[in-house]
Amino acid sequence: MPDVMHTLKVDLGSRTDDRSYPIYIGRGLLSDSAHWQTLVEHRGVVLVTDNHVAPLYAEQLKAALGPISLMTEVVLPAGEAQKNMASVQQILDASLEDRHERQSLFIALGGGVVGDMTGFAAACFMRGADFVQVPTTLLAQVDSSVGGKTGVNHAMGKNLVGAFHQPIQVLIDLDTLQTLSEREFAAGLAEVIKYGLIRDAAFFDWLIGHVGELKARDSGALAHAIERSCRIKAGVVAEDEREGGVRAHLNFGHTFGHAIERIQGYGEWLHGEAVAAGMVIASRLSASRGTLEASAVEQLIEFNETLGLPTSLPAGISSAQLLSAMGSDKKVAAGKVRYILLSALGEAIVTERVTEDDIARVITA
């Protein structure tokens, strides 16, 4: 029996253009045939997934969809290296060859890679088809499936080609997290604690106090953590859909994290692992400016350690290397690195007023 534990709304409404959509969080949602059948009534379906997720969940979802007159399934090889135009082309080719129309519904079943590419393919298909996100990694459930950023990587860098295209629904089935590897799961929790740090001190405290249940993937604890995270992300996106202002707060820890990924070469650490280390650096910087209690930094470090997440730069990377890699981040505005720091636990600010010495000091401390 499907059990919808939380329903949230991403509020992007205006009188002339209402693109608001619901996020459903619960158990057994993947096989909720009544829900799926209302969603796909009289439409073709383009189901996109990857070759890790397909054997786990595609049959379950297809059974719930029931008989569909026009159904195309695209199974892409898993992994960040596949997040490119060739994969999007494959989705578009299959959809056009099968003669889908703009009314067809694209369904992204998988992690952030599948979600970003399916959303981008849907944005391009006949100038914009509807799509539904069915995120199956924790990172995708709390971050990439919400907010409408879609796209692919380019040889020049990550996520350089894309479009804003909001899904019409996000269906988060907690049961899918049970098959996720421990490393991917922990990397997702790094994005979860980010929301506490930047927006909600009480949530941060709750996460610190429930790390054991989270690590054990207790459904009740997960439902709460995912609901709070999605609510915070939905609020930020509703306020600033295209990242002109507060949406930048979501990049807390990411400026340092992206630099680590660039120096190491992508694929060494997972994105969430690099962000985990980046958040410790950004928190230390905030503490050195007197805006964050040192005890909060210690709690964050302990949280990371419990989950096997990094707490500092990878061995062999110097602060000079980190600074130079940060200068080439795409989020650098007019040549200046913009840092997201904490003005208090649960409150983020954007500032350019951080010196190289400030950073070197907290890294070598």
Ligand X SMILES: NC(=O)c1ccc[n+]([C@@H]2O[C@H](COP(=O)([O-])OP(=O)(O)OC[C@H]3O[C@@H](n4cnc5c(N)ncnc54)[C@H](O)[C@@H]3O)[C@@H](O)[C@H]2O)c1
DSSP symbols for 197-241:
HHH-HHHHHHHHHTHHHHHTT-HHHHHHHHHHHHHHHHHHHHH-T
Please tell me the distance from the alpha carbon of residue 289 to that of residue 266, in angstroms, as a whole number: 32
Catalytic hit among 233, 249, 262, 284: 233
The residue with tokens 């009480």 is 202
Please tell me the distance from the alpha carbon of residue 131 to that of residue 123, in angstroms, as a whole number: 9
Q: Which residues are bridge partners to 157 per DSSP?
A: 154
CB 172 within 8 A of CB 118: no
- Residue 243 catalytic? yes
What the block records as the tokens of 143 is 């971050």
User: Of 7, 179, 318, 324, which lies in the binding site for ligand X, with binding defined by CB under 6 A?
Assistant: 179
Q: Which residues are bridge partners to 363 per DSSP?
A: none
CB under 6 A: which stretch of 35-43, 78-86, 290-298, 341-349 binds ligand X? 78-86
Per rule CB under 6 A, is residue 273 in the interface with ligand X?
A: no
- Residue 149 catalytic? yes
Catalytic hit among 247, 331, 338, 361: 247
Per rule CB under 6 A, is residue 29 in the interface with ligand X?
A: no
Catalytic hit among 271, 273, 284, 304: 271
Which residues, including other chains, have CB under 8 Å from residue 357's CB and lie 6 or more apart?
A: none
Identity of the residue, 239 or 302, whose beta carbon is nearer to ligand X in the bound complex: 239
DSSP state of 314: P
Per rule CB under 6 A, is residue 112 in the interface with ligand X?
A: yes
CB 101 within 8 A of CB 136: no
- Residue 258 catalytic? yes
Catalytic hit among 165, 194, 258, 284: 258
User: Of 19, 31, 43, 56, which lies in the binding site for ligand X, with binding defined by CB under 6 A?
Assistant: 56
User: Of 26, 147, 167, 310, which lies in the binding site for ligand X, with binding defined by CB under 6 A?
Assistant: 147
User: Of 137, 166, 169, 288, which lies in the binding site for ligand X, with binding defined by CB under 6 A?
Assistant: 137
Per rule CB under 6 A, is residue 194 in the interface with ligand X?
A: no
CB 186 within 8 A of CB 308: yes
- Residue 127 catalytic? yes
Per rule CB under 6 A, is residue 229 in the interface with ligand X?
A: no
DSSP H/E element including 119: helix 112-124
Q: How many residues bind ligand X (CB under 6 A)?
A: 28
At 352 the three-state DSSP class reads coil
- Residue 6 catalytic? no
The residue with tokens 């202002």 is 245
Per rule CB under 6 A, is residue 243 in the interface with ligand X?
A: no
Per rule CB under 6 A, is residue 180 in the interface with ligand X?
A: yes
Per rule CB under 6 A, is residue 159 in the interface with ligand X?
A: yes
User: Of 87, 95, 104, 136, which lies in the binding site for ligand X, with binding defined by CB under 6 A?
Assistant: 136
DSSP state of 104: -
The catalytic site residues sit at 127, 149, 191, 233, 243, 247, 251, 254, 258, 271
What are the residues binding ligand X (CB under 6 A)? Answer: 50, 52-53, 56, 78-80, 83, 110-114, 116, 136-137, 139-140, 143-144, 147, 149, 159, 176, 179-180, 184, 271
